Structure 1
Amino acid sequence: MPNKFESIQSLLRILLLELESFPENQTNIENNSYSRGYYLTEKFKELLVENFTKHREVHFYAEKLFITPKHLSQVVKDQTGKTVSEIISEMVCLEAKVLLQTKSLNISELSVYLNFASATFFGKFFKRSTGMSPLEYRKSL
């Protein structure tokens, strides 16, 4: 990937992480800023930013945090109001939207970069997440 796009992606990842805790969870964070749940959720988000293109499985992140997938799911749901899978999907979808803005990448290249088995699987994921196909999204820009 060109450096320009990596920079944009990094900025969007940071923005996503910031938006996840604002404003609906702000009270929870203020009250529990040093709680184990808050710490685990923040560590999960850090791992997600580093690994979401290759790993979308809850158990991968739970293993890295030395906890069970069920515990990770419960803690993240309590802290954010969203499931681990929802947050992972949102991150992948956001990245896909950024990449779709670059006309130099075709849909197949994009699906490989995001570690989908095929462009078809990527298309189904994207349509389920956004209500439109990747090509429709690209044309709407």
Structure 2
Amino acid sequence: MTVTLYKNTSDARCISKNLSEGIEITCREFDNGSIMNPRLIVEYNSEYANKNYCFISDFGRYYYINNIEITNGKRCIINCSVDVLMTYAGSIRNVNATIVRRQGSGTTTIPDSSITLKTAPNVQDYIFTGNSDVFTSGAYILNVFGGGA
């Protein structure tokens, strides 16, 4: 099977990963493992030591490299686990969804009744320079501006 090894510098929570230094190798499965956590056996090469990500074309999936075990006969076993986000990135981007919760308070365009909002009034006094009869007639001027839900 053909496997491309990469160096991944992206956070695991990112859908698309920043991959570099790709090298293509030919290897086989070490045992009849799973498609989710394959174990690959390959002839050892010191270039593999700085690789932490791979794409297995036979499975059509991207994987994190969790460990590289050096065995006898100048071989190594590469232990992998599937990266669901990168594998299904195209499908994830094409999903139409209704968002009912938002993480944190960074955006106010998505209402979330589970987040407690705190109001902080901003009261400022200004000197009125207009008609002085306003103050003797019992009338008051209240001006409110700003956003709100």
TM-score, normalisation: structure 1: 0.22
Of structures 1 and 2, the larger Rg is shown by 2
The answer to which structure has the higher helix fraction is 1
Give the alignment's TM-score, normalised by structure 2.
Answer: 0.21
